[in-house]
Structure 1
């Protein structure tokens, strides 16, 4: 560990902390699993069923927490590597939250810019606020190439063709109405330059509808590392390249 002039240890730099996605969900899931396990000890006629239900719910809680704290980060590292970025692109992350995808992208853009937009809902991510995102960018050493804006995905404050890449990680489905979700996808395509890449990760039914709406793109499931409690809440990636 490095030291200052009076030989006292300097604090280690803080690593980025991205919080928990939809924190109420794993809290409820874990509480329900614990309640089932406790009830199994008191309700003998249904002991086996209650024990099994509790085990499934608690296992789902563990899978959820692994995904939100580590699994999704590893998968986005892989997907951004496969995007074959030159390093000078302008990238926009929709619903950036505390910056998990935004900052991982910024690491790959030494001569570029990574811009995040969000409405900063704490229901969607714990501790969600722009200051947390900027602090994470500083901790990752990429603050000089990261910017964040408070903006609605359905009405982006950017000109047509402003970005080379647009990403979004499990954010568009939080928009309440289907029509507004499609507007967000349309806005993502609008701000992309011709030849730019769209990378949207969302639950399978949503990702399929986005692809059908824009009439292009490929869909690929992202595997167990992106399960929110189990395969029934697995995440699919929509990858599209803007042609015109």
Structure 2
């Protein structure tokens, strides 16, 4: 005798999928690399053909490194950095530019008695398939939907009271703000909503991270290594960590 569909246990949700950062960039790298290789086959065996082959190899290698970082490398590094943050499990954490939840969900796993709040403007240019329902679906797939909240908000004008979070994180988001003044405003807003003793943990390209530290006049900077290269060391990511006094 067959069971009614409503009596069957729910199917296991799919694993979280966090998309690709700035998807147009690796697409352009891949197309350019492929075009160079096709040109090299036409021009071989001369110097021009060799140059095109080398250029194509470099571009395709950069594409592979980029995709590894955005799909795997950054996730491993954020797991490590969140472990180093020594969370107690009852904190309230805010993730700026949360996207599809790569950092937000990993943080929520460490907050069984706390809450992880993500804010974003949901630009698909900055991350493929970037929508709040996708972020919530990823939280559900990871089993942390009960402690995750997402809001549509501008990180330069956060809709939260002063000193309302224990930790503020951000991964490759603040640099997307067009003007330096507004980027500094986002950093100031992050500090405003932190409680005294709270941690600000920001991963961004190294020139930006250095400017955030200089603007606040505090904090430490640490390169995150090849696992967080978006193609090569020239697009390497630095961690900026500051504690609110």
TM-score of the superposed pair, with normalisation by structure 2: 0.95
What is the RMSD computed on CA atoms of the aligned residues?
A: 1.5
Tell me how far 1:9 sits from its aligned partner. 9.5
2:17 is aligned to 17
Give the corresponding residue for 2:31.
31
Once the two structures are superposed, the pairs formed by residues 33-182 of structure 1 within 5 Å of their partners are 33-44=33-44, 45=46, 46-182=48-184
Give the structure 2 partner of residue 242 of structure 1. Answer: 244
Partner SS state of residue 42, structure 1 = helix
- 4+ residue runs of structure 1 moved beyond 3 angstroms? 8-12
> How far apart, CA to CA, are the structure 1 residues paired with 2:128 and 2:142?
19
Q: Is the 2:13–2:140 contact (alpha carbons within 8 Å) kept by the matching residues of 1? A: no
Supply the distance in 2 between the matched residues of 1:93 and 1:28 (Cα, whole angstroms): 29
How many angstroms does 1:12 deviate by?
Answer: 3.8
- Report the CA distance shift for 1:10/1:93 in structure 2 as closer, same or farther (over 3 A): closer
Could you report, residue by residue, the CA deviation over 1:20-47 in whole angstroms, capped at 9, with x for unpaired residues?
0000000000000000000001123311
Q: Shift in Å at residue 213 of structure 1?
A: 0.1
1:13, distance to aligned residue in structure 2 (A) = 2.6
Give aligned pairs, total: 240
**C-alpha distance in structure 2 between counterparts of 1:120 and 1:113, whole Å:** 21
SS in 1 for 2:42: coil
User: Which range moves more in the overlay, 42-51 or 138-147?
Assistant: 42-51
